[in-house]
Amino acid sequence: MKGVKLAFVVIVAALFTTTASADEKGKIGYVDLSRLFDEYYKTKDYDKSLEAEHKEYEQEAKTKVDKIREQQGKLELLKEDQKKGLEADIEKMKNDLMEYDRQKKTTLTKDRNEKIREILLEIEKIVSGYAEQNGYALILNDRVLIYGDPARDLTQDILKTLNNAQPKPPQK
């Protein structure tokens, strides 16, 4: 137990030494990465685009489902020998719908993940540039903090920098 306490004291001392030397070389700050991501204009623009794509996908899927239901409704009216061909067509339409659904979801997920990665890399680049310009030795993600002095929260400043790059709408 004494060894554990000693190790804890050594780790805490090392952290204080690291923090002190970082403060001597430059400032330390932190950001709320989730907020930066959510409030970045490119994230908002992408969310609108993704929502439109998703609505288009849902409409296409609904059209396919409606067509299947329409064909199923016709089954009751047909003679047994005619039902076989229509049942085969309906089964093919169901399989096509499932394949369409699988492919579309895979594509949307892949596109979404690529865009998220792209946006996060842009945020990282802006944060790095901000740190260099303003003399910060460290800028941390708030998720790794147990406590952060609100005076060291750089989220709002960096958010302004991110959104200053937003293209302005044309003047009329």
pLDDT at 84: 83
Do the beta carbons of residue 130 and residue 15 sit within 8 Å? no
Note down the domain range covering 121: 27-164
Report if residue 146 sits inside a domain.
yes
| Tally of domains in the chain | 1
The CATH number of whichever domain residue 150 belongs to comes to 3.30.910.20
Report if residue 84 sits inside a domain.
yes
Report if residue 32 sits inside a domain.
yes
Report if residue 169 sits inside a domain.
no
Residue stretches of the chain with pLDDT short of 50: 1-23
Report if residue 18 sits inside a domain.
no
Q: Please tell me the pTM assigned to this model.
A: 0.69
pLDDT at 12: 38
Report if residue 44 sits inside a domain.
yes
What are the angstrom distances between the C-alpha of 125 and each of 80, 87, 111, 116, 164? 67, 57, 21, 14, 15
Distance CA 141, CA 147 (A): 12
Do the beta carbons of residue 130 and residue 157 sit within 8 Å? yes
Report if residue 77 sits inside a domain.
yes
Radius of gyration of the chain (CA): 28
